[in-house]
A and B are shown apart, each in its own frame.
Chain A
Amino acid sequence: EDQVTQSPEALRLQEGESSSLNCSYTVSGLRGLFWYRQDPGKGPEFLFTLYSAGEEKEKERLKATLTKKESFLHITAPKPEDSATYLCAVIYNFNKFYFGSGTKLNVKP
C-alpha cells in the first residue's frame, strides 16, 4: 500500500540545537516530493520541491534532501520562530498528491 510516513511526530529542540526530520515514502512513480510549513490556524506554506534522488535544496536554516526512499529536512541552529508543523507531501501516478501526518517542531529559547 502506498504510504507517506513522517517521524518523529513531535520534536522539542533548544535554540541552536540542530536536528533532522524524516519523511519516508513507499509510493511508485514518484513525480515530486514537497515540504511545507504549517502554523496554527493557517494553511500550509510551501518550502521546497525535490524531484530526483540526490537533489538538495536550501533556504536559510533549512536544507531538504531526497533519496529513493526518503527525504530529510535538516534544521541548522533553529530559532523559536522555526516552531511549526512541517509537512511532507508526494505526488505520484499523475495526480495523486498525498501528505504525511507532519512533525510538530517546538524550539525553546
Chain B
Amino acid sequence: GAGVSQSPRYKVAKRGQDVALRCDPISGHVSLFWYQQALGQGPEFLTYFQNEAQLDKSGLPSDRFFAERPEGSVSTLKIQRTQQEDSAVYLCASSLDRGWGRTFTEAFFGQGTRLTVV
C-alpha cells in the first residue's frame, strides 16, 4: 500500500475485554514499531520487530500486552483484560532499514488507533 494502515481507527472496549489492533506496514519495510501516545504526550515506545523477529519488547507496560508479526508483514498488538489506563492512541510505524550498524532511515507512521476503555 501507499502508507502504513492501521485498523480500527477507533475502538471502545469495556474494562476487562480483550482487543486486537492491526497494522499493515508499507510493503517491503523490514522494521516495524508500536508506540502508545497519551493525550498531549509524545509517543512512548512499546516494541520493535525486524521482519518476524521481535527484537525489543522492553516498552510493553505489562504482560497483558502482546505483539506479533508472524510473516514479517502485518502486525497485531493485543491487549488482554483492558484497563482504563490503557486508553490511548496506539501508533504503528514502519521503516525500510534493517538497523544493526547501518544508517537508520526514517520511520513512517499510520494514523493510529484510538482506544477508549470504559
Report whether B106 and A46 are in contact in the complex, using a CB–CB cutoff of 8 Å: yes
Are the C-beta atoms of B105 and A49 separated by less than 8 Å? Answer: yes
Selecting from B13-21, B62-70, B73-81, B108-116, the interface stretch reads B108-116
Known: A49-B106, A99-B42, A102-B42. A42 touches B111 (CB 8 A): yes
Q: Is the CB of B42 within 8 A of A95?
A: no
| Chain A, interface SS category | strand
**Cβ–Cβ < 8 Å partners of B104 in chain A:** 31-32, 91, 97
Report A's interface with B, CB cutoff 8 A: 6, 31-32, 34, 36, 41-46, 49, 51, 87, 91, 94-102
A and B contact pairs by CB, cutoff 8 A, 7 listed: A6-B42, A42-B111, A46-B107, A95-B55, A97-B48, A99-B35, A102-B42
